[in-house]
Structure 1
Amino acid sequence: MLILKPNCECCDRDLSPDSAEARICSFECTFCADCVTTRLGGACPNCGGDFAVRPGRPAALLAKFPASAVRVVKPHTACAA
């Protein structure tokens, strides 16, 4: 089951569990679409992998399986710009 992190690891933008702007790599590193395109060049700065649109969790299941509340922000060189 996906963790559904609540923010972009680069700019700390809020990403709701159903956000169409959330992108993840195969390790579930989470970034917003804007950072993936403008800052990261489409490659994950943690693992070098590519990104996919993060799938949403049906609203009816969010109560039983909530999204993570733990924010992750990493000081990547690409994010400092």
Structure 2
Amino acid sequence: MLQLRPNCECCDRDLPADSGVALICSFECTFCPACAEHLGGACPNCGGELVQRPRRPTAKLTANPASSERVHGKRPCPQHAG
């Protein structure tokens, strides 16, 4: 079952479980569309393709909630680098 992480790993933007804009790689690294575009559609952690994250039906979120753990990348995204 997907974790449905609550934020963009680069900019920390909120990405709720019912959001249709979150993008993930096969390791579930999660990014917002703006950061994914800056990354060229590839995960900076594994190099994998970023694709739209599926949404869990609302009725299933009660028994199978999304993750509340916010994940932050080990290095800043290109648009946030100094």
Task: Tell me the TM-score normalized by structure 2.
Answer: 0.91
Q: Alignment RMSD, CA only?
A: 1.2
SS class of match (2:4)? coil
Identity of aligned residues (%): 60
Write the distance in 1 (CA, Å) between the matches of 2:3 and 2:77: 25
Number of aligned positions between the proteins: 80
Tell me which residue corresponds to 2:13.
13
- Stretches of structure 1 that go unaligned for 5 or more consecutive residues are none
Tell me which residue corresponds to 2:50.
51
Counterpart contact for 1:45–1:76, Cα < 8 Å: no
The runs of at least 4 consecutive aligned structure 1 residues that moved more than 3 Å come to none
Q: Which amino acid aligns with 2:21?
A: E
- Aligned pairs for 1:42-81 (under 5 A) are 42-74=41-73, 75-81=75-81
Inter-CA distance 3–15: structure 2 relative to 1 (3 Å threshold):
same
Task: Tell me the TM-score normalized by structure 1.
Answer: 0.92
